[in-house]
Amino acid sequence: MMFFERIKKSLFGIAGRASLAGALTVLCGLLLTGCHGGRVSKSFEIPEEFDTSENIELTFWAKNDTNKTQTEIYEKAARDFESLYPNVKINIRFYTDYGKIYNDVITNIATGTTPNICITYPDHIATYLTGVDQVLELTDIIDNEKYGLGGSELRFDGPKKDEIVAKFLEECYIGGSLYAMPYMRSTEALYVNKTYVEKLGYELPDEVTWDFIWEVSDAAMEKNADDTFKVNGQNVMIPFIYKSTDNMMIQMLRQKGWDYTTGDGEVLLFNDNTKSLLFEIADHAGKRSFSTFKISSYPGNFLNAGQCIFAVDSTAGATWMGPEAPLSDIHDNAKVKDVEVVVRKIPQFDTEHPLMISQGPSMCIFNKEDPQVVLASWLFMQFLLTDEVQISYAQTEGYIPVTTKAHNNPEYIDYLGRGGEDNKKYYSIKLDATKMFLDNIGNTFITPVFNGSASVRDAAGQLIESTTKSMRRNQTVDDDYMEKLYSETVSLYRLDQLGASTAGKGRKAEDLGPLPGGAKALLISLGSIWILIIMYFCYINIKRRLFNKNNE
Amino acid sequence: MKKKLLSVLLAGAMALSLAACGNSTPAADNEGVMTYAEYAAADLDTEVTVETYVQAHQSWWDNKVTVYTQDDDGAYFLYELQCSEEDAEKLVPGTKIRVSGFKSEWSGEVEIVDAKFEFVDDGTSFIASPVDLTDKLASDDLINYQNQLFAANGLTVVARPSGNAFDYKWDNSGSHDENSDLYFDVQDAAGNTITLTIESYLCDNTTDIYETVENLNVGDTVDVEGYLYWYEGANPHIVGMGVHPN
């Protein structure tokens, strides 16, 4: 099992014997802690100076894609930072699973032993925020003259605020406040066996539609008398495989202009719009011209074996796509090499207005008692945004740097222009996927983040997985089936227990609704006290003046 | 007398009904249960029901457990079987269970998915003896032993692409602390190389086998035992190993 390993444990990603019940207990504890104001308030104020005489040790929880080069880049960044700030030592703990980081953070919030910095998803940060003052709010610090983005006292050439790609920074706002910085971004790409498309009598357009994919996929199911498929002469052919069905559903809905949640957490997924998409998918699943990663396996494995024509996977998985890919799970003799694999945008409903998801890791800082430690964490986080780190990490996969500063760096521009020079650093499909994303930053969208948004994402994918499985099993998929599926999915992901808790990301001036009664009473009391204080001082002042006047 | 008899019959019927409500099944009730041959012949994505014996299982999580099972005729891999934590503790080697789910294939691994099970209390138990596949590791016949407990002896540990005797995760990007799967390559007498895995959800970083592999050196000669799991080719999950003295 080589690639990312089969996804064994998803939402909480707990290895070993930890239980969901345990995680939920911790989560409940967190929520209760939040209700009662937390144990220690650690509101952070930016120190005037970074104290380089104080020895500081930082813990950084990093996420890599089972990619050794990525771990080496993190290590080098830590050592380079330490050489700039000799009083700081960075300890890195590597993860290959966001779910495991999430679970460990939740556990460590309860015990007060969170890391200083971690790579994570905004969806997860929304849950971390249920602990009071746990995650550092970055809204002010990024603008600090000395230590903010591009600040005067930095010992490295970091990006300025306006050099962070605005679309990517937007994703890090939760409830109107900035709680993270983007680290890398990817999107999904369509990897196409162009040779087989043409063999089936079609011309591959630059802008691929869902209709085109379904039509070609169905056509590819034609068989020879010996039961092999005409298009590849093999016994196996799954023309269209989608890796991440939650993204598939979310993007299909978005392309249609149908939201799947509101910004404040109302679930809009279970309706006739979604049903219409599911029936379309069901039609092709029943013909076996469509399948998913969870049902069949990695799209890249089938694509590289000449058993798939359209594979949708992350641009961050581009080094696995194509028979000449530098990374592969299938034996060399199983690859079909005399085919041309090309990259396109994911299929669209409206090619004039393409839409694709923006995804990828972000970084957050956990608040600590010592402001110097927090400042050191912030400095290291900024260091991870420098061109050297951004460009070298982005080159490991089809990621793109999150700063325009890196995009415009001559080294990066040179890299982008060298596609195909080798099948490693300059692997053409990886570079084509990267360039496709760079060209379409303006066409990307992000999804609302709130406490529970990760469950809604999972549910969106589950609808496709269940429907596809049912069709493969010759079960009846009709309106009654859909009603039952909706009901079961709501129950499975506990979506009926979600509160409309947090505002959508990317909206700084979010309307948070009317103030709670307690807050109103507190504000009125504070105002009244101030009025009384002012009246008292006025009274004293007048009294003193009158006294002075009488004595003159 | 008739009323008394009727009462006894009704009580008996009720007792039987209650027994049927439990999660244990009497031996004679095997309607719809497939033989291994019938299971092997069944199409993918069809519903299957088999009776089989637990050999090992991975760690329980979120009301699911992945189980390695076998009987005299063949082996079944039960992927994420629906199971309470309490029942998972009862899935000890030798336990007979009846499993109903769907036959499926994932990267070459034929398995039963979306399955439920019940314990079969017929007094029988079965612990598989490993089949010796030392001479078959590169043969086309190997797939016929898929999921079975097997042994292979006198294998030589060869360097991974990383140069190591073993890697944490396939590309050595994992770690002991992360409880990563271990990968190591061995060569048989004919020079065929196969990658073996310590699946950490089956044998985690506290087990002897995990530690044994962490102490391997390139050139060591080993005898191994494990389950013949498949991922784009044979990718056995090893559970036992002896290292020959140098």
pLDDT digits (tens, 9 = 90+) for A188-205: 999 999 999 999 999 999
B192–chain A nearest CA distance, Å: 14
Q: Is B174 on the interface with A (CB under 8 A)?
A: yes
**Does the distance separating the beta carbons of A295 and B104 come in below 8 Å?**
yes
Give me the amino acid identity at A96.
T
In tens, the pLDDT along A50-85 reads 999 999 999 999 988 767 789 899 999 999 999 999
Q: Is B138 on the interface with A (CB under 8 A)?
A: no
Top-confidence residue, A122 or A256: A256
Average pLDDT over residues A113-142: 90
Which chain A residue has its CA at the smallest distance from B63's CA?
A: A20
Top-confidence residue, A165 or A123: A165
**pLDDT at res. A49:** 96
Domains and CATH numbers, chain A: 20-186+359-416 (3.40.190.10), 188-357+446-497 (3.40.190.10)
Whether A263 shows a pLDDT value over 60: the answer reads: yes
Looking at the partner chain, which of A1, A11, A472 has a beta carbon nearest the beta carbon of B45? Answer: A472
Q: How many CB atoms lie within 10 A of CB A279?
A: 15
Kindly list the residues of chain A whose beta carbon comes within 8 Å of any beta carbon in chain B.
1-3, 5-6, 8-9, 11-12, 14-17, 19-20, 64, 66-68, 70-71, 93-96, 100, 295-298, 301, 329-331, 334, 469, 472-474
User: What DSSP designation does A164 have?
Assistant: B
pLDDT band at A527 (very low <50, low <70, confident <90, very high): low
User: Minimal CA–CA distance to A184: which of A67, A309, A45?
Assistant: A67
Whether B230 shows a pLDDT value over 70: the answer reads: yes
**Does the distance separating the beta carbons of B114 and A8 come in below 8 Å?**
no
DSSP for B180-236 reads --EEEEEE-TT--EEEEEE-TTTS-TTSHHHHHHHT--TT-EEEEEEE--BSSSB--
Which residue of B45, B114, B167 to mutate against A (max A Cβ within 10 Å)? B45
User: Minimal CA–CA distance to A397: which of A456, A330, A321?
Assistant: A321
Q: Is B104 on the interface with A (CB under 8 A)?
A: yes
Chain A CB contacts of B85 under 8 Å are 19
Whether A260 shows a pLDDT value over 60: the answer reads: yes
Chain B CB contacts of A1 under 8 Å are 170, 181, 197, 231, 235
User: Looking at A15-24, A47-56, A275-284, B193-202, which range is the least confident one?
Assistant: A15-24
Quote the mean pLDDT of chain A.
86
Question: Would you tell me which residues 5-64 of chain B have a C-beta closer than 8 angstroms to some C-beta of chain A?
Answer: 45-47, 58-62
Chain B CB contacts of A94 under 8 Å are 173-175, 178
**pLDDT at res. A32:** 37
Looking at the partner chain, which of B45, B104, B173 has a beta carbon nearest the beta carbon of A66? Answer: B173
User: Looking at A51-65, B10-24, B120-134, which range is the least confident one?
Assistant: B10-24
DSSP for A348-413 reads BS-TTS--EE-B--EEEEB--S-HHHHHHHHHHHHHTTSHHHHHHHHTTTT-EESBHHHHT-HHHH
DSSP for A226-283 reads TS-BTTTSSS---SEEES-HHHHHHHHHHHHT--SB-TTS-B--SSHHHHHHHHHHHH
Chain B CB contacts of A16 under 8 Å are 59, 179, 200-201, 204
Average pLDDT over residues A417-432: 96
**pLDDT at res. A193:** 98
**pLDDT at res. A479:** 98
Whether A24 shows a pLDDT value over 80: the answer reads: no
Top-confidence residue, A73 or A525: A73
User: Minimal CA–CA distance to B61: which of A77, A13, A171, A465?
Assistant: A13
**Does the distance separating the beta carbons of B201 and A15 come in below 8 Å?**
yes
**Does the distance separating the beta carbons of A1 and B170 come in below 8 Å?**
yes
Chain B CB contacts of A469 under 8 Å are 45, 102, 114
Which chain A residue has its CA at the smallest distance from B176's CA?
A: A94
Among all chains, which residue has been given the structure tokens 């029943």?
A286
Give me the amino acid identity at B178.
E
**Does the distance separating the beta carbons of A469 and B61 come in below 8 Å?**
no
**pLDDT at res. A518:** 42
In percent, the amount of chain B with pLDDT more than 90 equals 82
CA A98 to CA A106: how far, in whole Å? 12
pLDDT band at B124 (very low <50, low <70, confident <90, very high): very high
Q: Is B232 on the interface with A (CB under 8 A)?
A: yes
Average pLDDT over residues B71-77: 97
B66–chain A nearest CA distance, Å: 10
B208–chain A nearest CA distance, Å: 16
pLDDT band at A511 (very low <50, low <70, confident <90, very high): very low
Mapped to the 3 state alphabet, what secondary structure does B142-161 carry? Answer: HHHHCCCEEEEEEEEEECCC
Q: How many CB atoms lie within 10 A of CB A53?
A: 6
B246–chain A nearest CA distance, Å: 30
Chain A CB contacts of B175 under 8 Å are 94
The conformational region for residue A288 under phi > 0 = left, psi -120 to 50 = alpha, else beta, is left
CA A508 to CA A530: how far, in whole Å? 30
Tokens coding A278: 């599911």
A451 burial type by CB count under 10 A (0-12 exposed, 13-18 middle, 19+ buried): buried
Which residue of B107, B194, B195, B230 to mutate against A (max A Cβ within 10 Å)? B107
The conformational region for residue B62 under phi > 0 = left, psi -120 to 50 = alpha, else beta, is left
User: Minimal CA–CA distance to A379: which of A117, A61, A21?
Assistant: A117
**pLDDT at res. A549:** 63
CA A176 to CA A238: how far, in whole Å? 44
What sign results for the dihedral spanned by CA atoms A162, A165, A166, A169? negative
**pLDDT at res. A66:** 66
User: Minimal CA–CA distance to A12: which of A127, A129, A121, A100?
Assistant: A100
Whether A305 shows a pLDDT value over 70: the answer reads: yes
Looking at the partner chain, which of A12, A16, A71 has a beta carbon nearest the beta carbon of B204? Answer: A16
Q: Is B129 on the interface with A (CB under 8 A)?
A: no
Which chain A residue has its CA at the smallest distance from B66's CA?
A: A8
Whether A42 shows a pLDDT value over 90: the answer reads: no
Average pLDDT over residues B120-146: 96
Looking at the partner chain, which of B114, B179, B233 has a beta carbon nearest the beta carbon of A15? Answer: B179
CA B180 to CA B175: how far, in whole Å? 6
CA A367 to CA A36: how far, in whole Å? 18
Count A/B contacts: CB-CB distance under 8 Å.
92
Looking at the partner chain, which of A16, A68, A330 has a beta carbon nearest the beta carbon of B173? Answer: A68
Q: What value of ipTM does the predicted structure carry?
A: 0.83
Rounded to the nearest angstrom, the gap between the alpha carbon of residue A330 and the centroid of all alpha carbons in its chain is 28
Q: Is B175 on the interface with A (CB under 8 A)?
A: yes
The pairing of strands A88-95 and A56-63 is parallel
Average pLDDT over residues B42-66: 97
**pLDDT at res. A99:** 82
- 3-state SS assignment for residue B54: strand
Torsion from C-alpha of A155, A156, A160, A164, nearest 10 degrees: -140
DSSP for A81-112 reads HHHHSTTEEEEEEEES-HHHHHHHHHHHHHHT
User: Looking at A21-35, A212-226, A257-271, A476-490, which range is the least confident one?
Assistant: A21-35
**pLDDT at res. A441:** 96
B82–chain A nearest CA distance, Å: 13
pLDDT band at A547 (very low <50, low <70, confident <90, very high): low
Q: Number of C-alpha atoms within 13 angstroms, CB side, residue A78?
A: 19
Looking at the partner chain, which of A15, A295, A297 has a beta carbon nearest the beta carbon of B200? Answer: A15
**pLDDT at res. A232:** 97
**Does the distance separating the beta carbons of B114 and A469 come in below 8 Å?**
yes
Chain A CB contacts of B179 under 8 Å are 15-16
Sheet bearing A240-242, strands edge to edge: A290-292, A240-242, A310-314, A188-193, A341-345
**Does the distance separating the beta carbons of B45 and A95 come in below 8 Å?**
no
Top-confidence residue, B6 or A70: A70
Top-confidence residue, A528 or B105: B105
Contact B37, B98 (CB under 8 A): no
**pLDDT at res. A528:** 63
pLDDT band at B177 (very low <50, low <70, confident <90, very high): confident
Domains and CATH numbers, chain B: 26-120 (2.40.50.140), 131-243 (2.40.50.140)
The CA–CA distances, whole Å, from A81 to A90, A106, A141, A376 equal 8, 28, 19, 10
